[in-house]
Amino acid sequence: MTQQSLAPILVTGGTGRTGGRQARRLLDRRIPGIDGSRREGAPFYWHDSGTWPRALDGASAAYLCYSPDLALPGASLVIARFVESAAEAGVQRLVLLSGRGEDGARAAERSVQGPRLLTLNDVAAELSAATGRRIEFLPCSGGEFGTDLANDGVPGTAGTGMWAAPAKAVLR
Ligand SMILES: NC(=O)c1ccc[n+]([C@@H]2O[C@H](COP(=O)([O-])OP(=O)(O)OC[C@H]3O[C@@H](n4cnc5c(N)ncnc54)[C@H](OP(=O)(O)O)[C@@H]3O)[C@@H](O)[C@H]2O)c1
């Protein structure tokens, strides 16, 4: 493991479903993590930029799990400002949790992605190359996506049709 890979990684939403998994994986691999949530340590608030510098201090990379939701008005602006702060702090890599395709979510993705646009198939190919595992992007219907969420224990989501452009990544 290189010295650079031992630099801390900021996990926003580290007490939540996806961030919690990232935090546990970092722990397993003995990579230092910085918690970015309101409950742990020094609190991190998406809507209080005064709490960002501590979270970004020394971080080499960051996992961005925005709350309450990327699709809400103003979210992409917060993400754009956060990306700017992260770049100024020297963070080299950002990963944004997104993928439902609403306008607001896409605007936030562009803030993180910069000028190189990637389709979800491109992302799957890049992930396959980096991990050595075959990862495919399979589109699924809103109903299927709702069922997946329900199976994951998210209440009231099965078959609601509220997911306009769902995405699904499959590991092989
Ligand atoms: N639109 C899209 O394309 C798209 C796609 C995928 C996911 N998402 C969004 O991603 C999130 C789901 O991720 P998840 O399931 O991993 O999270 P989750 O289990 O819902 O947990 C949310 C996490 O964010 C933290 N948090 C909540 N409000 C916060 C705030 N104002 N400032 C800072 N941290 C805050 C919580 O910790 P504390 O309570 O300790 O602060 C918790 O760790 C949802 O917002 C979902 O809508 C959007």
Cis peptide before 155 (omega within 30 of 0): no
Bridge-based pairing of strands 135-137 and 61-64 is unpaired
Give residue ranges with CB within 6 A of ligand 1.
Answer: 13-19, 37-39, 44-47, 65-71, 97-100, 102, 105
| Predicted local distance difference test score (pLDDT) of residue 146 | 79
The reported pTM is 0.75
**Which has more pLDDT, 45 or 153?**
45
The fold of the 1-115 domain, in CATH, is: Rossmann fold (3.40.50)
Q: In angstroms, rounded to a whole number, what is the distance separating the alpha carbons of residues 75 and 66? A: 8
pLDDT of residue 5 exceeding 80, the answer is: no
Pocket test for ligand 1, best of 10, 37, 40, 103 (most atoms within 8 A of CB): 37
Percent of the chain with pLDDT over 90: 59
Q: Where does the pLDDT of residue 168 fall: very low under 50, low under 70, confident under 90, or very high at 90 and above? A: low
pLDDT of residue 19: 94
Residue 148 vs residues 101, 120, 140, 142, 167: alpha-carbon distances, Å: 17, 19, 10, 10, 11
Which is nearest to 8 in space by CA: 30, 27, 31, 37? Answer: 31
pLDDT, the chain, mean: 85
Report domain extents, the chain: 1-115, 118-172
Structure confidence at residue 154 (pLDDT): 76
Which atom, in ligand 1's list, is nearest to the CA of 101? 3
Q: What is the pLDDT of residues 75-112, one digit of tens each?
A: 999 999 999 999 999 999 999 999 888 999 999 998 89
